[in-house]
Amino acid sequence: MKRRRSEKKKETEETDVVPKKKKSQHEQLRDVVLVFASAWKERLGSQSPVQMVAENPFLFRELVEYLRLPSIQKIFVCGGSEETGGVSRSVEIYTLQDDSWERGPDMITCRVGHRIARIADCIFAFGGFTNREITNSVEALDVKRNEWMKMPSMSTTRSHPGVGVVDDRIFVIGGYDGHNFLSTCEMFNVGTNKWETITPMTTKRYYMGVAVIGDRIIVVGGCSGGRDVRTVEALDTKTNTWTTLPPIPTARSGMAVGVIDDRFIWTFGGFYDNVKLDVVEIYDVEKNEWIKSSSKMTSPRFSAGAVVVDHKISIVGGSTAMPGMEIFDVDTMTWEKSPSMFSPREYYEAIGF
């Protein structure tokens, strides 16, 4: 069914309106703690702090969520293309509290165009291009032991796929195998240490943006058949089905993507028709519409990483082997700079832990 003209215009409308702010994770957790603190320790039974929280579904859900999800303390960067043109297996780690970078343990395999994902204390690296070929190999860093280990390989060689994590499952989506753009997808179950094939996307593509909200993995843009596309689709991991969503206003690949409040998908920069972009666009999952923000990146870039900490999005590195990291504050819509990495690199991966 066709949408009304006013609705279609709304999708690409540029706006200075900041989406309504929700409390940060720390603020919400503080509110939960205050419930305990405000209750007299002498109270028993139905008046006890534990009973009060247990009987309040909202407070109980928030408390469980924050006990389950550790806060982001570090940003992890690995692999990529070096200034000299070589492929790197080096690792760098940024500590938020110290505002500084340090070296990490090198990967087993040098990779560029790979993707990474984190579950608990392990960071997994999937596919990419080595100095010789596109690979289907997988390795994982045990963060506590500070050591990489080989993992079961994917069924398909993939460069620049999409990756999303739901519970203890890692979904690897699309990519490029050296000959063809891919729509095929597979899922690694960390609990069983095995791969499974899942329903393919409707669009063959690689180098797309990926966001996870709840049980859905949302794939944004990318490159298909040699052209950058606007296509957006979502995988419902419960039903293993894909649904088409409103297209992103600006066709592009290689964008940085961050999720705020489990509702807003922020997209930064990217690449279109051989031009680097500074555009910022936001998808509101609840309203099912795109917002084209008047905010811009401080400089056009693509192939950057994005890590979200509360209401701030760190954009790390990017095109032309940029070593710098900039942080975008969603609440104030302003940018601030952070220390640069040791090694300028692009086509690498970044994740928080």
Residues 246 and 301 in one domain: yes
Domain membership of residue 247 (yes or no) is yes
CB contact at 8 A, 36 and 53? yes
Average pLDDT over residues 122-151: 97
Q: Of 66, 83, 102, which residue is a domain's last?
A: 66
pLDDT of 40 reads 45
Q: Are residues 121 and 57 in the same domain?
A: no
Kindly state whether residues 57 and 132 are assigned to the same domain.
Answer: no
Angstrom distance (rounded) from CA 18 to CA 250: 20
Question: Which residue type sits at 318?
Answer: G
Q: Is residue 321 part of a domain?
A: yes
Q: Are residues 110 and 31 in the same domain?
A: no
Over residues 269-328, the pLDDT tens digits come to 999 998 999 999 999 999 999 998 999 999 898 999 999 998 999 999 887 546 678 999
Q: Do you know the residue count of the chain?
A: 353
Residue 160 and residue 35 in one domain: no
Average pLDDT score over residue span 84-90 = 89
Q: Angle between the 25-38 and 57-68 helix axes, to the nearest 10 degrees?
A: 120
- Do 53 and 154 belong to one domain? no
The pLDDT assigned to 26 comes to 52
Q: Are 316 and 206 part of one and the same domain? A: yes
Q: Above 50 in pLDDT, residue 222?
A: yes
pTM of the model: 0.83
Q: Are residues 83 and 180 in the same domain?
A: yes
Does residue 198 lie within any of the structural domains? yes
**Angstrom distance (rounded) from CA 236 to CA 72:** 26
Confidence bin at 3 (pLDDT 50/70/90)? very low
Check whether residue 52 and residue 85 sit in a common domain: no
Q: Per-residue pLDDT averaged across 222-227, rounded?
A: 94
Distance of alpha carbon 300 from alpha carbon 54, whole angstroms: 49
pLDDT class of 2 with cuts at 50, 70, 90:
very low
125 and 214 share one domain: yes
- Residue 339 sits in which domain range? 70-352
Per-residue pLDDT, 24: 54
Domain boundary among 66, 90, 125: 66
48 and 125 housed in the same domain: no
Residue 17 is assigned to a structural domain of this protein: no
DSSP state of 223: E
Say if 337 falls within a structural domain.
yes
Q: Is residue 2 part of a domain?
A: no
If one counts the domains in the chain, the total is: 2
Q: What percent of the chain has pLDDT over 70?
A: 79
CA dihedral of residues 189, 194, 198, 201 (deg, nearest 10): 80
Residue 186 sits in a domain whose CATH number is 2.120.10.80
